[in-house]
A and B are shown apart, each in its own frame.
Chain A
Amino acid sequence: MMDALKVLAPGPYTTVQDPGRFGYQQVGIPVSGSLDAFSSQIANLLVGNPPESAVLEITILGPRLCALIDFDMALCGAEMDLSVNDAPANRWETVRVKAGETIAVGQAKTGCRGYLAVGGGIDVPLVMGSRSTYVGASLGGYQGRCLQTGDILKIHAKPPLPRTRRLPEAWIPGSPSEITLRVIPGPQDDFFDAALDILFQSPYMVTPKADRMGYRLQGPALEIKEGMPRSIISEPTMPGGIQIPADRQPIILLVEQTVGGYAKIGTVITPDLPRVAQATPGDTLRFQRVTLEDAHRIYKDHRNRFQEITEYLSAR
């Protein structure tokens, strides 16, 4: 491990993340991890890392970093300008960086979160099996917090790739103005009747209250039907669960939530969670109903495609 990056300007919310911290949700520790798992994994593959290596998750506006050693780097996810010593560099491909150069990541033009991987992976201590930052409990990542000016990040030593890699255009996720999320009704779809139709027919806007815990949406009210309780006995939540609290406006629960006491009308399918991660306040979301069988078919296709991408990039 060696000092590799010095933070010149951190950006508003830049954290170290990996796939997440599993096995502790039952003691109140959320999974955390990269909100857009796909971009995080691809960024790692582009620098020759295992897909689960730790990366920087950048929110809305990127950091400025000074390279202290030579390394390979890749930026994926939201559309953000990337430059090395003021020379523009491409996203979704390997970028060679030399010691002394300045890396600058700009403001997101579309999307919300960028993922910056470096060859070898960010080296912070494993806490309870993960390098992910959970700011809510000052846990993991770089001292349990967002990056600050002057921080020095270490990376695991790794020789540069023999050849640079680039993700073909066809595999780069699009950024539509209206985001469609596929949803399986439940676990408490029996608490709702007309609200299910309303959910699947109406646009919902992302409010400014949108973070790694959850996205609060605004749109037509979703009523719990007559005779059903307004809340439920607290139970564990899955990322993607669409919870309906007392104000009847939906919240998509994400990776920093462990339990909830309100009924969930539906659950966004796992392959569509990166679309939530890339939605910003003001964006319009639409929900499309899918059956569990459809969802499992989509899940399988998604995993097969990731396998195909992995093989393609690793063969370069």
Chain B
Amino acid sequence: MNTGVFEKARFRIAGDRGLLVEYGDCIHPDVLHKVRSVALLLTQEAPAGILEILPTYRSLLIVYDPLVVTPGTLARLLEKMETRLSGIRIPDPKCVEIPVCYGGDFGPDMDFVAQTHGLETEDVIRIHSAPEYLIYMVGFTPGFPFLGGLPEILHTPRLETPRTRVPEGSVGIANNQTGVYPVASPGGWRIIGRTPLNLFRPKDPNPFFYQAGDRIRFRPIPEREYHRIRQEESA
């Protein structure tokens, strides 16, 4: 089976301070594993001149100081690293449980999603809250997790016209992905529920509960519990 991992990393020039390294051409756990392994090695060994390492689905953006290191040197260093990747042990991923109150006012697109697939609301909730989703990437807004592994029966296209404001905590579906909006923002995902948790805590030393490579499971909760948790979170 083609897992989409390239035999050799491909390098792309992203301006005078960025080197983009691609490890595959599709969204697949094996590609993500390779990206995370290289990111971990780079973080541990901190080669001179590297300012920031940004891992995503299938690539790594390295921000460097051109007065200290050239992209040629970085590319050779990364090629050498390839031989050592098999020995890398990535820390076990966390699984973070996120309580979600599905449907009603919190999930304005629940009816659309259910009707599109000929399901009852209860089915959508059961199916959406069953998997442990892999976090492929965090981005777009602070802490927004892009989750892979949405069951095919729930794949639903984005809204034709994005909403100008999706409330914080909203849980949505866009095609084969699902995710949560940690802060209010414009957005075109189909919203099926809302979590009462504050997913972004800027004043906390650890502002987020999860990172790329971790897993998320959604736990359905009744509205009563939503309000109870919300009250605790606001305290």
- Within 8 Å by CB of B142, from A27, A188, A268, lies A27
Nearest chain A residue, comparing its CB with the CB of B13: A186
| In the complex, chain B residues whose CB is within 8 Å of the CB of A235 | 20, 56-57, 59, 61
Residues of chain A lying within 8 A (CB to CB) of residue B14: 186-187, 238, 241, 264, 267
A258 to chain B: closest residue by CB: B139
Residue from the set B13, B16, B185 with the largest chain A CB neighbour count within 10 Å: B16
Q: Are A184 and B137 in contact (CB under 8 A)?
A: no
B residues within 8 A CB of A26?
53-55, 138-139, 211-212
Q: Is A13 in contact with chain B by the CB < 8 A criterion?
A: no
Contact residues in B for A292 (Cβ distance below 8 Å): 13, 16, 71
Given known A23-B52, A27-B138, contact A233–B57 (CB-CB < 8 A): yes
Name the CB-closest residue of A to B39.
A26
Known: A26-B138, A28-B139, A128-B207. A234 touches B146 (CB 8 A): yes
- For window 134-187 of chain B, which residues contact chain A by CB distance below 8 Å? 137-144, 146, 182-183, 185
B1-44 toward A: CB 8 Å interface, digit per residue (1/0)?
A: 00000000000111111101000011100000000000000000
Q: Are B54 and A236 in contact (CB under 8 A)?
A: yes
Chain B residue contacts of A23, Cβ below 8 A: 52
Within 8 A of B (CB), among A204-244: 233-236, 238, 240-241
Q: Which residue from B27, B138, B202 sits with its C-beta under 8 Å from A127?
A: B202
The complex places the Cα of A240 from the Cα of B18 at a distance, in Å, of: 11
Q: How far is the CB of B2 from chain A (nearest CB, A)?
A: 16
Contact with B along A129-168 (1 / 0, CB 8 A): 0000000111100000000000000000000000000000
Min CB gap A165→B, angstroms? 26
A238 CA to B185 CA, complexed, in Å: 22
Most buried by B among A24, A235, A269: A235
Pick from B25, B52, B70, B144: contact of A25, CB below 8 A: B52
Alpha-carbon separation in the docked complex, A4 to B140 (Å): 36
Q: Which residues of B contact A184 (CB under 8 A)?
A: 13, 15-16
A187 touches B13 (CB 8 A): yes
Contact in complex: A136, B141 (CB < 8 Å):
yes
Chain B: interface size category: 35 or more
User: In the complex the two chains form, is B142's CB within 8 Å of A238's CB?
Assistant: no
A28-B143, A238-B17, A270-B16 are known contacts. Are A22 and B200 too (CB-CB below 8 A)? no
Q: With the chains together, A98 CA to B20 CA distance in Å? A: 51
Q: Is B67 interfacial (CB-CB < 8 Å)?
A: yes
Contacts of A136 in B (CB 8 A): 141, 183, 185
* A233 with B27: CB separation less than 8 A: yes
Tell me if A305 is interfacial: C-beta within 8 Å of chain B. Answer: no
A28 touches which one: B18, B55, B59, B138 (CB < 8 A)? Answer: B138
Is A316 interfacial (CB-CB < 8 Å)?
no
Known: A238-B63, A300-B67. A22 touches B51 (CB 8 A): yes
Interface residues of A, count at CB 8 A: 40
Instruction: Please measure, in the bound complex, the distance between the C-alpha atom of A224 and the C-alpha atom of B61, giving whole angstroms.
Output: 23
Given A236-B54, A267-B18, A300-B67: A187 in contact with B138 (beta carbons within 8 A): no
Which residues from B are CB-within-8-Å of A268? 15
- Interchain CA distance A26-B59 in the complex, whole Å: 12
Contacts of B13 in A (CB 8 A): 184-187, 267, 292
Decide yes or no whether A313 CB sits under 8 A from chain B: no
A204 to B25, CA, bound (A): 32
B202 to chain A, nearest CB (A): 6
Per-position binary interface string of chain A over residues 255-297, scored 1 when its CB falls under 8 Å from any chain B CB and 0 otherwise: 0001100001001111000000000000000000000100110
A29 CB–B CB distance under 8 Å: yes
Q: How far is the CA of A128 from the CA of B58 in the complex (A)?
A: 27
The answer for the CA separation of A267 and B202 in the assembled complex, in Å, is 31
Asked whether A299 is an interface residue with its Cβ less than 8 Å from the other chain, the reply is: yes
- CA of A235 to CA of B57, assembled, Å: 8
Query: Is there a chain B Cβ closer than 8 Å to A109's Cβ?
Result: no
B-side contacts of A233, CB under 8 Å? 25-27, 56-59
- Chain B residues lying within 8 Å of A296, measured Cβ to Cβ, are 16, 66, 70
B202 touches A240 (CB 8 A): no
> B224 interface residue, CB < 8 Å from A?
no
Interface residue? B80 (CB, 8 A)? no
Taking a contact as CB atoms under 8 Å apart, the answer to whether A137 and B20 are in contact is: no
Interface positions of B (Cβ within 8 A of A) = 12-18, 20, 25-27, 51-59, 61, 63, 66-67, 70-71, 137-144, 146, 182-183, 185, 200, 202-203, 207-208, 211-212
Known interface pairs A139-B202, A236-B61, A296-B66; 14 further A-B residue pairs with C-beta atoms within 8 A, sorted by A's residue number: A25-B54, A27-B143, A137-B141, A137-B142, A137-B183, A184-B13, A187-B14, A233-B26, A241-B14, A259-B56, A269-B15, A269-B16, A270-B16, A299-B67
* 10 pairs of residues in contact across A and B, judged by CB atoms under 8 Å: A27-B138, A29-B142, A186-B14, A187-B13, A233-B25, A236-B61, A236-B139, A238-B61, A269-B15, A303-B67
